Amino acid sequence: MTSLIESIEKIFMIGGLGIFLITAWIFYFLGALKFKSIREFLLFRYQVILGFIIFTVAIWGLFSLINPPNGFPGWTKQSINSNLGGSIGSMILGDSLINQILRISSLIFLTLIVIKPKSSILIVKFIKIIFQLLRIMFKKIISNYWSKNSTNKSTPIPEYSTNKSTLIPENSPLITKTVDDRSRSTSKSSWGSAANNLGYFVVNEKEEQKPHQEILSEEKSEGTVSDFNNQHNARFSDPNEVDTDPKRQNQFWETSPMKDPIKNTEEITTTNTSKKKWALPDVSLLSSASHGGISPEEISETSQIIKKTFAEYKVEIEVEKVRPGPTVTMYGIQPGWVRKNRNEKTKDENGNQIISKVEEKTRVSVDNILRREKDLALALKTPSLRIETPVMGESLLGIEVPNPNPSLVALRNVMESKIYKDFESKAALPIALGKGSDGDEVVFDLTKMPHLLIAGATGSGKSVCINAIISCLIMERTPEQLQMVLVDPKRVELTPYNQIPHLIEPVIVETDQVVNTLKGIIREMMDRYRQMEEIGARNIESYNQKSSSKFPYIVVAIDELADLMMTAAFDVEQSICRLAQLGRATGIHLIIATQRPSVDVITGLIKANFPSRISFAVTSQIDSRTIMDTSGAEKLLGRGDMLYQPIDGTRPSRVQNVFISDDEIKNLVSHWKNNPKGFKPQIDIHTIGDPIGLQSNIDASSKSDQLIDQAIAVAQKNNKISTSLLQRRLRIGYPRAARLMDELEDMGIVSASDGSKSRDVLISS
C-alpha cells in the first residue's frame, strides 16, 4: 500500500494538477467519437480547440506558482518541496521571474491569435502604446535629471549660492533683457526648474557681465542643447532682437519641413511632385500571344462544303471573299441565280415558226439562304453559325464559321497594331477591345461611348474584359489624367489593382458602401458643373483648355450589378442613372457588368442610359434580347467571344476579346507601385458628418413618426377606424395604411382584425 501511494505521489509530483487537465481533454476527444455535435465542433472550430489547448498549457504553468506548505499531495516526505504544477509545470513556467512573465504572456497571446486572429492587431497596438508611454517617461526622467545637473552648474539656487547673485521678482522690469538673452542661449527646461518654481529668476552677476557669445560657448561646453542656439542665431542677426511669435519660442520649432508637418509637408509634396512626371508603363510588360488560326487549306475545304451544301438544296451561291478571324472566319457569300427555262415560239430567218428555249434568271432570295442555316451547321459539324448581311462593305452575306483551332488575342498584339497607334493619339481614353471576325483590330474611345454595359453568363469572359479595359487605361493614362473607382463584390477580380495610384479609394468589396460612394461621385460631378459654369465651359475638354487646374477623367467600374441590385435596388439604380445622364460632360464614365441580364437588374432606365453594350455568351434568347435588343448572343462560343454594339453602330458585330493574364496585371501594378510618384489631383468623394444612407434613414424614420402621430389622432376622433379611413385622411397608399393599422394594433389603440369590418378604437380622446 505504501508503494502504491508513493507511485501515485510520484506521478503527481511530475504532472501536478496538469494530470486532471490532460484527463479532461482525453474525455473530450473520446466524446467526439460518440457525439456528432462535439465532432462537428472539433472539425469546423478546430482553431478554438487549438487555442484552448495552448491556454491549458499556460494554466499548467501557473499551477507551479502555488506551493502548499506540506507539498503536493503531501502524503510522504518526498513531496515537501513540490508544487501544484509538478515538474512539468515548472519546466513550462521557467525559473526566473522575467522568464515566467514572458512565457505566460506569450502563451496567452498565442491563444488569442489562434482563436481570433483579428485580436492580435489590437494586442500589438496596445503593446506599442505601452512602449511609447515607457519611452516618454524615460525621456522625461532623463530630461529632468539633465536639466537639474545643468541648472546646478550654470544657475545655482539662491539660498544655496555663495557668490554674488541677485534675486529679482518675476514681474520686475529689470529682467526683460536678461530673459531674452537667456531664452536664446538655454533650453526651456534649463532655466525653468527649481528657481522658477519659487517665483524668481536667478541672475548671476558674473554671467551678466559676460558677452553674449561667451555665454553660448560655455553652455555648449557644459552639454546643453546647442542646435536650437545655432538655428536661433541663424534666424536672428541681432542677438538682442525679440521674436514676437509665440510658436517660435518653442525650442523644437524650426523652418525645416520636418518641424511643421501640416503646412510645410504639403508644400514640399506639391513642389516635388510638380517637378516629377509619371512614367507610363512600357508595352514590354505585357506578353505576346503566338499567332494561330485557320490554315488556307482549311479555308478552301470549308468553302467547298458551303457551296456543295447549298447546291444540294438547289441554292446557287459563290464564295467571293474570306476573312479569317481569331475565333471565327467570315465567308462572304454572293447569292446566285434561280434559273428557269421556258419554250418560246419564234421565227427564223426564212420566216418559219420554231420553238426555242429561253432562260430566265432571278436572284436567289436571302430568306432561302437563311432557311438553310441548320443544314449548313450540320454539314460543317459546328453547333453555332451566324449569318448577317451585308458585310465587308459589299452586297455579300457573311457566314461566321468557328475555327477548329481558335487563336488567343493578346492585349499587347492589339496595342502594337497600326490601327490602335493611329487611334490612340486622337482618343482621350483609348481602349483596345479585341479583333473582329474579319481579323481587324477593334478599338474605341470610352469618352465617345460614353458608358458601357457588359453582360454574359458565368465564365464567358466579363471579368477578363473589365481587367483588360482597366489595364489598357492605366497603360495609356497617368493618375493626373485618369482616376478610378472600382467595385468588386466578388473580392477577387479587381482587388489586385489596390496598389495603383489611379484609385480614388481602395477597391470597394462591401455592398453597403457602394451607395455612399456613388452619391459621393454625384457630389463631385455637381461641383465640376459649378466650376465649369464659372468659366463658361460646356464640357471637360473646354474646361481643361481654359483653366489652369485640369479635371482628371473618372471611370467607375462595377463588376457585378446584380449583387448590388439585390441589396439596395432603388438607391443603386437612381445613382447609376443620374451619373449616366449627367456624367459625360464632366468626364465621368461608367462600366457595368452583370451575369444576369434580366429586366429587374438591367432596368429600363439603366438600359436607356447605356447605349454602348457588350454581350458575351448568354443562356437564352430572352437574355440576348434584353441586353442587345436582338438575338444572337445565345449562339456565341464563350471564352471571350462577344457581340459588340457601340453607340454609333446600327447592329452588333462579333469580336474576340483581348486576354490579359494575372502575371501581366502584377507587372503593371508593380510598375505603378515602384516608380516615382508625380502630381495627382485630389478628389474627395466623402463628406464630413453623417453617412449619406444614415441621413435618408433619419428622414424616413421622422416621416414615419409623423404618420403614426396623425394615425393616433384620427383614431382618437372616431369610435371605429379602418384602413380605407386612414388612406383618405392621411392621403397615403393602401400598403402604408395597412402597416399603420398593424402598428396601432400592436400599441393597443385599436382592436384585432375581424375580416373586412372596421376596428374598434380602444382609447378615448
Q: Is residue 169 part of a domain?
A: no
Residue 728 is classified by DSSP as H
Residue with cell 495609356: 476
- pLDDT for 524 equals 93
- Boundary residue ending a domain (657, 672, 687): 672
Whole-angstrom distance, CA of residue 426 vs CA of residue 419 = 12
724 and 639 in a single domain? The answer is no
Please tell me the predicted confidence (pLDDT) of residue 699.
46
Phi, psi of 121 (to 5 degrees): -65, -45
Model confidence over 173-219: pLDDT tens digits? 433 344 344 444 443 333 333 333 433 333 343 344 444 444 334 44
Do 563 and 660 belong together in one domain?
Answer: yes
458 CB burial (10 A radius; 0-12, 13-18, 19+): exposed
Q: Is 190 helix (H, G, I), strand (E, B) or coil?
A: coil
Residue 571: pLDDT above 50? yes
| Averaged confidence pLDDT in the chain | 77
Nearest to 468 by CA among 214, 662, 683: 662
- Residue 357 belongs to a domain with what CATH number? 3.30.980.40
- Tell whether 155 is covered by a domain: no
Angstrom CA distances, 275 to 265, 550, 553, 676, 677, stand at 16, 17, 22, 11, 10
> Could you report the per-residue pLDDT of 456-479, keeping only the tens digit for each?
998 899 999 999 999 999 999 999
Q: Identify whether 474 is part of a domain.
A: yes
Q: Give the per-residue SS3 of 337-380.
A: EEEEEEEEEEECCCCCEEEEEEEEEEECCHHHHHCCHHHHHHHH
The SS3 of residue 1 is: coil
- Please indicate whether residue 586 or residue 698 has the higher confidence score (pLDDT): 586
Residue 158: the pLDDT is 45
Q: At residue 438, what is the residue type?
A: D
Find the mean pLDDT for residues 26-49. Answer: 76
Residues 493 and 638 in one domain: yes
- Which is nearest to 216 in space by CA: 168, 183, 256? 183
End-to-end CA distance of the chain: 90
Q: Is the pLDDT of residue 132 over 50?
A: yes
pLDDT at 357 over 50: yes
Res 691 pLDDT > 50: no
Average pLDDT of the segment spanning 32-48: 74
Q: Please report the beta strands in 291-327, taking only residues with DSSP state E, as ranges in sequence order.
A: 317-324
The answer on 610 and 577 residing in a single domain is: yes
Burial of 739 (0-12, 13-18, 19+ CB in 10 A): middle
**Confidence class for position 70, pLDDT limits 50, 70, 90:** low
Determine the Cα–Cα distance for residues 150 and 589; give it in Å rounded to an integer.
Answer: 67
Q: Tell me: pLDDT of 128 over 70.
A: yes
Mean pLDDT of 351-357: 80
* Distance in angstroms (rounded) separating the CA atoms of residues 280 and 478: 7
Of how many residues is the chain composed? 765
Whether 599 has a pLDDT exceeding 60, the answer reads yes
For the cut 60, the answer to whether the pLDDT of residue 22 exceeds it is: yes
Report if residue 171 sits inside a domain. Answer: no
pLDDT given at position 703: 53
Burial of 613 per CB tally in 10 Å (0-12, 13-18, 19+): buried
Residues 485 and 578 in one domain: yes
Pick from 106, 18, 114, 107: nearest CA to 60: 18
- Which neighbouring-strand residues pair with 343? 357
DSSP string, 126-138: HHHHHHHHHHHHH
Q: All 3 cell numbers of residue 676?
A: 516615382
What pLDDT score does 306 carry?
93
Q: What is the 8-class DSSP label of residue 282? A: P
pLDDT on residue 32: 78
Question: Is 80 exceeded by the pLDDT of residue 409?
Answer: yes
Q: Which of 100, 117, 134 is the last residue of a domain?
A: 117
**pLDDT tens-digit profile of 620-673?**
889 999 999 888 898 898 889 999 999 988 889 999 999 999 999 999 999 998
Q: Could you tell me if 631 and 482 lie in one domain? A: yes
Residues 114 and 53: beta-carbon distance below 8 Å: no
Between 280 and 689, the more confident residue is 280
Total Cβ atoms within 10 A of residue 387: 18
* Predicted local distance difference test score (pLDDT) of residue 111: 80
Q: Residue 676, preceding bond cis, omega within 30 degrees?
A: no
Same domain, 415 and 396: no
The one-letter amino acid code at 17 reads L
The reply to whether 625 falls in a domain is: yes
Tens digits of residue pLDDT in 432-452? 999 988 888 999 999 999 999
Top mean-pLDDT range of 3-7, 244-248, 483-487? 483-487
> Which pLDDT does position 183 carry in this prediction?
42
Residue 583: what pLDDT?
A: 93
List of residues 6+ apart from 64 with CB closer than 8 A: 16, 83, 84, 85, 86, 89, 90, 92, 93
Number of separate helices (H) and strands (E) present in the chain? 29, 19
Q: Are residues 361 and 379 located together in one domain of the fold?
A: yes
State the pLDDT at residue 709: 85
Into how many domains does the chain fold?
A: 5
Quick: pLDDT tens for 234-261.
433 343 444 444 333 333 333 333 334 3
Mean per-residue pLDDT, 555-581: 91
Establish if 765 belongs to a structural domain: no
Nearest Cα to Cα of residue 408 among 382, 442, 435? 435
Domain CATH number, residue 709: 1.10.10.10
> How confident is the model over 695-706, as pLDDT tens digits?
444 444 455 567
Does the pLDDT at position 81 exceed 90?
no
Q: Which residues pair with 158 in a beta bridge?
A: none
Instruction: Output the pLDDT for position 764.
Output: 65
- 396 and 420 inside one domain: no
Q: Which CATH number characterizes residue 498's domain?
A: 3.40.50.300
Higher pLDDT, 79 or 668: 668
Kindly report whether the peptide bond that precedes residue 73 is cis, defined as omega within 30 degrees of 0. Answer: yes
Task: Give a yes or no: residue 191 inside a domain.
Answer: no
Residue 181 belongs to a domain: no
Report the Cα 267 to chain-centroid distance in Å. 29
Q: Which of the four pLDDT bands, split at 50, 70 and 90, describes residue 382?
A: confident
DSSP E strands in 389-451: the ranges are 397-402, 430-436, 441-445
Q: Is the Cβ–Cβ distance between 410 and 419 less than 8 Å?
A: no
Residue 507 pLDDT level (bands cut at 50, 70, 90): very high
Mean pLDDT of 25-54: 78
**Lowest mean pLDDT segment, chosen from 244-253, 554-563, 610-619:** 244-253
Residues 617 and 718 in one domain: no
644 and 740 share one domain = no
> Which residue range(s) make up the domain with 95?
2-117
Res 149: pLDDT: 59
Together in a domain, 606 and 579: yes
Rounded mean pLDDT, 284-301: 84
> Domain boundary at 117, 137, 166, which?
117
> Has residue 431 got a pLDDT over 90?
yes
